[in-house]
Amino acid sequence: MENKNGTTTMLAASTITPRLQNIVDKIDDLPTLPTVVIKMMELIGKSETSVSELSKLIATDPVLMAKLLKIANSSFYGFPRQISTLDTARGALGFSQLQAWDLVFLLQANSALSRIMISLI
């Protein structure tokens, strides 16, 4: 959901219906755009990549953004309030965690692309 200043926010927990929760739970099954995967590989491979560059790339892919927000709001991190924007998640997680999760997303995307390529052969 986009608010008046252009930032994307997640729905409040009280508005999540069982059907919507089911959709959110399946976010991990959605593929990341191949062009985003390629660009992410380039950025993670460069030592001078900034957190801003990674954030801009994540913002271009709704699947990546949703996955990052889901992770930031997980009990693993235990933040005291809900993280609803990419900027807040970026600040809360920090660069090294953002880069690590991007690498996880990259590996997942490569695995999915490999399965698709094999099925086409």
Residue 62's H or E segment, with its range, is helix 62-72
pTM for the predicted model, two decimal places: 0.60
How far is Cα 2 from Cα 9, in angstroms, rounded to an integer?
A: 6
Segment 55-71, tens digit of pLDDT: 888 888 888 888 888 88
More confident call, 118 vs 14? 118
Q: Please give the CATH architecture assigned to the domain spanning 13-120.
A: Orthogonal Bundle (1.10)
**Using an 8 Å Cβ cutoff, are 7 and 87 in contact?**
yes
pLDDT band at 117 (very low <50, low <70, confident <90, very high): low
List the beta bridge partners of residue 2: 8
Residues 62-85, mean pLDDT to the nearest whole number: 85
Domain segments of the chain as ranges: 13-120
